[in-house]
Amino acid sequence: MFLTPFLPFIFMFTVGFNFTLRLFLRGRRWNFKSQEHGPGGYPLVGCLVSYNRNKHRLLDWYTELLSASPSQTIVVERLGTRRTVVTGNPENVEHILKSRFENYPKGRPFSELLGDLLGNGIFNADGEPWRAQRKLLSHEFSARMIKAAAETALAAVVGGRLVPALAQAADGDAVVDLQELLRRAAFDSICMVSMGIDPDCVGVGGGAASCWGLDLAEAFDAAAGISATRGTAVLQAVWKTKRAMGIGSERILREKLALINDAVGKMIKRRKTEENERRAQPTDFLSRLISAGHSDTAVRDMVVSFVMAGRDTSSSALTWFFWVLSQHPEAEARAADEAATAKGELSYGALKEMPWLEACLCESMRLYPPVAWDSKYAAEDDVLPDGTRVFKGDRVTYFPYGMGRMERLWGKDAEEFRPSRWLDAEVKEMVKVSPFKYPVFQAGPRVCLGKDMAFVQMKYVAVSVLKKFHLSPVSVVRPVFLPLLTAHMAGGLSVSVTKRKSETNPPNYQET
Residue 476, pLDDT > 70, answer yes
> pLDDT at position 2, please?
45
Decide: 190 and 311 in contact? Cβ < 8 Å. yes
- Mean pLDDT (whole number) for 207-235: 80
- Mean pLDDT (whole number) for 82-92: 94
Mean pLDDT across the chain:
84
Alpha carbon 291 to its chain centroid, in Å, reads: 30
Higher pLDDT, 48 or 498: 498
Q: Which fold has domain 22-107+370-403?
A: 3.30.43
Beta-carbon contacts of 475 under 8 Å, excluding residues fewer than 6 positions away, are: 494
DSSP 291-335: HTT--HHHHHHHHHHHHHHHHHHHHHHHHHHHHHHHH-HHHHHHH
User: H or E element: which one contains 245?
Assistant: helix 236-245
Residue 11, pLDDT > 60, answer no
> pLDDT at position 336, please?
95
> pLDDT at position 338, please?
93
- Mean pLDDT (whole number) for 474-498: 92
> pLDDT at position 359, please?
96
- Out of 421-430, 464-473, 494-503, the most confident range is 464-473
Beta-carbon contacts of 27 under 8 Å, excluding residues fewer than 6 positions away, are: none
> pLDDT at position 230, please?
86
The three-state secondary structure class of 35 is coil
> pLDDT at position 25, please?
40
Q: Are strands 84-87 and 395-398 parallel, antiparallel or unpaired?
A: parallel
pLDDT band at 335 (very low <50, low <70, confident <90, very high): very high
> pLDDT at position 470, please?
96
> pLDDT at position 19, please?
46
- Exposure string over 266-289, b if 16+ CB within 10 A, otherwise e: ebbeebbeebeeeeeebebbbbbb
Residue 144, pLDDT > 80, answer no
Q: What is the distance between the alpha carbons of residues 376 and 104, in angstroms, rounded to a whole number?
A: 5
User: Other C-beta atoms within 10 Å of 137: how many?
Assistant: 18
pLDDT band at 20 (very low <50, low <70, confident <90, very high): very low
Angstrom distances, CA of residue 505 to CA of 27, 208, 329, 335, 497: 65, 37, 11, 10, 19
- Out of 106-115, 293-302, 485-494, 499-508, the most confident range is 485-494
Residue 293, pLDDT > 70, answer yes
Residue 84, pLDDT > 50, answer yes
Q: What is the distance between the alpha carbons of residues 332 and 508, in angstroms, rounded to a whole number?
A: 14
Residue 86, pLDDT > 60, answer yes
Higher pLDDT, 347 or 452: 452
Residue 355, pLDDT > 60, answer yes
> pLDDT at position 486, please?
86
Give burial (CB, 10 Å; 0-12/13-18/19+) of 488. buried
Q: What is the distance between the alpha carbons of residues 324 and 367, in angstroms, rounded to a whole number?
A: 10
Higher pLDDT, 104 or 238: 104
> pLDDT at position 204, please?
63
Q: Which residues pair with 470 in a beta bridge?
A: 498
Percent of the chain residues topping a pLDDT of 70:
86
What is the per-residue pLDDT across 188-220, written as a single tens digit (0 to 9) for each? 988 888 888 888 888 764 455 567 788 888 999
> pLDDT at position 502, please?
62
DSSP state of 445: G
pLDDT band at 170 (very low <50, low <70, confident <90, very high): very high
pLDDT band at 10 (very low <50, low <70, confident <90, very high): very low
DSSP state of 42: B
Lowest-pLDDT range, 216-220, 341-345, 350-354? 341-345
> pLDDT at position 352, please?
81
Decide: 105 and 379 in contact? Cβ < 8 Å. yes
> pLDDT at position 396, please?
96
Q: What is the distance between the alpha carbons of residues 236 and 43, in angstroms, rounded to a whole number?
A: 20
Angle among Cα 52, 53, 58 to the nearest 5 degrees reads 75
Q: Is the dihedral of CA 157, 161, 167, 172 positive or negative?
A: negative
Angle among Cα 330, 333, 334 to the nearest 5 degrees reads 90
Residue 509, pLDDT > 60, answer no
Domain parsing of the chain, residue ranges:
22-107+370-403
pLDDT band at 262 (very low <50, low <70, confident <90, very high): very high
> pLDDT at position 347, please?
77
Q: What is the distance between the alpha carbons of residues 423 and 428, in angstroms, rounded to a whole number?
A: 6
Q: What is the distance between the alpha carbons of residues 277 and 332, in angstroms, rounded to a whole number?
A: 51
> pLDDT at position 278, please?
63
Residue 174, pLDDT > 60, answer yes
> pLDDT at position 292, please?
78
> pLDDT at position 281, please?
60
pLDDT band at 165 (very low <50, low <70, confident <90, very high): very high
DSSP 130-145: HHHHHHHHHGGGSHHH
Decide: 159 and 464 in contact? Cβ < 8 Å. yes
What is the per-residue pLDDT across 410-430, written as a single tens digit (0 to 9) for each? 999 999 999 999 998 776 788
- Mean pLDDT (whole number) for 235-241: 84
Q: pTM score, two decimals?
A: 0.85
Question: Considering only CA atoms, which of 112, 109, 60 is closest in space to residue 396?
Answer: 109
Residue 37, pLDDT > 50, answer yes
